[in-house]
Amino acid sequence: MSLFRHHPTRLVRLVPLLLVFIVAGCYPDHPQSTFDSTGPVAQSQLNLFYWIFWAAVFVFVTVQSALLYICLKFRRKPGDPDPEQTHGHNKLEIIWTVLPVILLAIVAVPTVLTIFDNANSPDPDGMHVNVVAHQWWWEFNYPGEDVKTSNELHIPVDEVVNVSLETKDVIHSFWIPKIAGKVDMVPGNSNKMWIKGEEIGIFHGQCAEFCGESHANMRFQVIVESRADFDAWVASEREPAVIPVEPLAKAGLDLFEGDAQCWSCHKVEGSSRSRGTKGPNLTHLSGRQYLGAGIVENSQTNLRNWLTSPNDLKPGNIMYRDAAVYNDPDKALSDSDISALVAYLRSLK
């Protein structure tokens, strides 16, 4: 059934614009607005929302105006006698039981249709991404493409992507407001959803289920790109990391795979040492636009800040909590260590 998958007509689109304006206040950019959908799942959810919204507006206006009318009309005036002590009115009571039933049926039918619509992937054999949530970052695995990455999801435009959702620790929820409503990631219980981006661009997602101290900082980006760009990205992701030649970066590599013990938590493809899985895969870190699960731009300064004191950018994060370089003063990184590590990480293109 595709009752709710068409794009709405002009008129229906105008009103949303108005709403967006109200909701938006005066700011231009709303990266997580549910009113500006760019995928069929979010679109069907939005259309359903409007359908119910208008039904609700209708009820709101009629009932509230009736209430207001009653309040104004039947105010007590001095000297008014007791009103007639009526106890009820059968016909009226039946009407106001049946009317809501009809109204609800109008809402219920498209609801059920959309639920089933969105539950089943239109192309179950299409591309597949396996998302694994961790406190407080994301792992994206592409079994078909043999790509493993973190915190930045690339998908080809106009293609159905089947997503399976898992978590390594507590409950999280995977949500890209402009592309699809959320589905939770429950331990021991893998969930499925499908998404499709219909517009090229960067879209923002966020964990929607409270998952602990840095729940607010568990975000990610979805990069919807042309098939050609996507293929190019896959090709570059599959390359192992290049071993740096520049001396500072080389020193960084040594630290990374040595005393700083970064290797114990992070994977860098091509390195025989860095095979850790407690933290994000860093093979192509510098190809990403954001750092720390989508919270700050991936710049030299931010990377430096991140390595200097991860807890300032992201309170409670597991790296700060568990890495020896942060919780053992004897092993703390010096400024030059950090410069070396930054140089190395920046070389991971």
* Contacts (CB under 5 A) with Cu ion, residues 273-302: none
Q: Total binding residues for another protein by CB under 8 A?
A: 95
Rounded to whole angstroms, how far apart are CA atoms 46 and 338? Answer: 47
Specify the residue, 189 or 300, whose C-beta has the smaller distance to another protein: 189
Put residue 346 in one of left, alpha, beta given phi > 0 → left and psi -120 to 50 → alpha: alpha
Q: What's the min distance (Å) between Cβ of 236 and ligand HEC?
A: 16
Site for ligand HEC in 272-291 (CB under 6 A): 278-280, 282, 285, 291
Pairing of strands 219-225, 201-206: antiparallel
Kindly report whether the peptide bond that precedes residue 54 is cis, defined as omega within 30 degrees of 0. no
Which of 9, 10, 18, 83 touches another protein by CB under 8 A? Answer: 83
C-alpha count within 13 angstroms, C-beta hemisphere, residue 129: 26
Rounded to whole angstroms, how far apart are CA atoms 309 and 323? Answer: 12
H or E stretch including 296? strand 296-297
319 binds ligand HEC, rule: CB under 6 A: yes
Rounded to whole angstroms, how far apart are CA atoms 282 and 256? Answer: 11
Q: What's the min distance (Å) between Cβ of 30 and another protein?
A: 4
Where does this chain touch another protein (CB under 8 A) — which range of 83-91, 220-228, 233-241, 259-267?
83-91
Site for Cu ion in 2-61 (CB under 5 A): none
Q: Total binding residues for Cu ion by CB under 5 A?
A: 5
Q: What's the min distance (Å) between Cβ of 90 and another protein?
A: 9
207 binds Cu ion, rule: CB under 5 A: yes
Rounded to whole angstroms, how far apart are CA atoms 184 and 19? Answer: 28
Q: Residue 162 touches which of Cu ion, ligand HEC, another protein, none (CB < 5 to 8 A by kind)?
A: none
Where does this chain touch another protein (CB under 8 A) — which range of 177-185, 253-261, 284-292, 301-309?
177-185
Q: Residue 265 touches which of ligand HEC, another protein, Cu ion, none (CB < 5 to 8 A by kind)?
A: ligand HEC
Site for ligand HEC in 107-136 (CB under 6 A): 136
Rounded to whole angstroms, how far apart are CA atoms 167 and 141? Answer: 13
42 binds another protein, rule: CB under 8 A: yes
211 binds Cu ion, rule: CB under 5 A: yes
170 binds another protein, rule: CB under 8 A: yes
Rounded to whole angstroms, how far apart are CA atoms 245 and 159? Answer: 40
Using alpha carbons, select from 179, 209, 214 the residue that is nearest to residue 196. Answer: 179
292 binds ligand HEC, rule: CB under 6 A: yes
Pairing of strands 191-195, 161-167: antiparallel
**Which tokens hold the place of 189?**
């219980």
Tell me 36's DSSP state.
Answer: S
Q: How far apart are the first and last CA of the chain?
A: 44
307 binds ligand HEC, rule: CB under 6 A: yes
Cβ neighbours for 322, distance < 8 A, ≥ 6 positions apart: 265, 278
Q: Output 73-80 pairs: Cβ under 8 A, ≥24 positions apart.
A: none
Which of 44, 149, 162, 347 touches another protein by CB under 8 A? Answer: 44
Q: Lay out the site mask for Cu ion across 169-188 (x = CB under 5 A, - = otherwise).
A: ---x----------------
Site for ligand HEC in 44-103 (CB under 6 A): none
Site for ligand HEC in 326-345 (CB under 6 A): 341, 345
262 binds ligand HEC, rule: CB under 6 A: yes
Specify the residue, 19 or 232, whose C-beta has the smaller distance to another protein: 19
Residues making contact with Cu ion (CB under 5 A): 172, 207, 211, 215, 218
